[in-house]
Chain A
Amino acid sequence: MEKNNIDIKLTQEILSLDICSAFVGADDVGGIVSFVGTVRNQTKGKSVLKLDFEAYEPMAISEMRKIGEQVLLKFEIKKIAIHHRTGTLKVGEVPVIITASSAHRKAAFEACQFAIDTLKETVPIWKKEIFEDGEIWVSATP
């Protein structure tokens, strides 16, 4: 597998859909599917002020890369970019962008969905939701 078909980034900086799209584009690509996660203003009816994202960085990067490699093996895609942000994010800001390109669109849809589903299961990144009256680590306790 050519490693330059995978672009992984873990950063405190603002993510760019343009950069992800440009990375996966190519003359033999017929479709590009992107998932852009955004911070919602509420969880279970409670107003969210902001989110804090914390990562175990070296392992988060290696797990994101594994997802990229798995996706390239599993689906007929050309390239994939997986970018994740850490630090404090406000409502409407973007913690994650995943972009996949393929000759035929179905593979790009499946790859992008698989990648975000897997990221949410395996990549060691944690978010704390901060409300007006407290805070909670998401999904940590029942």
Chain B
Amino acid sequence: MRVAIPLSQRKLNFKNEKISDEEFFGERKKILGLWPTGKEIDLDECIAYHKSMPKSKNAVYKLQQAKKEGTVLTQPRGGICLVDEYVKWLKLFQDKGKADILTAQSDSYTRNKRFDKAQTAWEESKKLGRSTLNGCPWVNWGLKESRRLIESIDVPLDGRAGTDIFSMEFALAAGATTFLGGVLNSGSYYPKDPPEKTIREMQQVSRLQGYYTEHGVPIASDSHAMSGPSYPVHSLEVAQVIIDSLIEAEQGVKYIILRCRQTMNLFQDVAKARALQALAGQYMKKCGHGDVETFLGFEDWVAAFPPDNAQAAGLVAMGAMSAHFTGAQNIMIKSLDEGLGLPTTESVVFSLRETKQVLNAVKHQKLPYSKEVEDEQKMIMKEATLILEKVFEMGDGDVAIGSIKAIDVGVIDHPFSSSVYNAGKVFPTRDANGMVRYLNTGNLPFTKEIIEFHREKVEDRKKVEKIEKDYKLMIEDITSFTRDV
């Protein structure tokens, strides 16, 4: 019913190029005008404010320290709309959960610039005494409330707002120092927007982060690919994160967290993390961003979680192990309630403490060398390179333009993405040995051998596990982690 506008009818009147000051400030003015609180933000004051904050509250410094010491910083997600309540929560996460970085995600209305709806829900929540919004309405809060939240804690705050630039303006102004990046990822958050709109917005977002950085306030962007109900698809994830990073870097972002998502297979997690770092390094240098400092971020199983706390605890610990062995500087955890709904504080504290315990327990350990893991890494790099090269080719060297064209024909594809511009032909599954493979490679620019490799692995599993239909495989993949043990 709802259809994407064909590429031929769309204009791509921008480039992967740093936005001019004029355009940047013009755009900011428009955005800040969308809601009365916008006028509270004065960039110079904000930068001065950041500089007055203790260094220990800046995520970049903390990530740099973690890199030096070989530790993994823990970080929960979350967000609710009542500030007093959320202050209590964050303090609990920090003091009892020993979280190293805290998070405040914007809510879904705010993300969609429906500040009117967010306002109503916020007012209602205050009356009810419980949050009916699924995140933080930064814009409605305004600067004072937003700062009050961040001032109440002692560790860095991640403002996780994606391409939601107005929220980011506020979160940055209030003292947040790391943000959700993910140019291609964001498409899924705005299913009716063509990719060029999202990418353009992301450029503005990155430009703002870059601006702070250029003025002495280091800000980190958290580049990560889209997720769905089941496995991540490795080479596509790697390619996406790298594309994101390149677009962000072009706007002046100097600190990027390369986010690597849990596969449930420790060894493939490691292979992917290594592939991602190696390839990101190559491409950043190649594109003139050798000065960008990257960190490795890990993320607990982002797909469907079991609705049982004990089962969830198992996955959380597995995530922590993987985070350590991938050599990540940061782990974004899931709460035990992930499969249920926005978590109780106890559930978040539990996950944080459990994660930290596992990290402590394996702290000194190294992954023994294995050629099999190396081969897996090489395979992921080979596939991701094919995607990346095709994107550059399609964009005549411009990665942003190339991405838009690539999405159009499914050279970039997100399994289960809500975007109407997404091809939706690629699906993940695992093989008989618990390694994630492509159930469908769709239009990914892979060689015959690669396509054959994945097909064989999947067919092999179908035989072993006696599953005939592909969609049964997909349901099995999801339910094997969520069903009652």
Do A and B come together as binding partners?
A: no
Chain A: residues with CB nearer than 8 A to chain B?
A: none
Instruction: Using CB atoms and an 8 Å cutoff, list the residues of chain B in contact with chain A.
Output: none
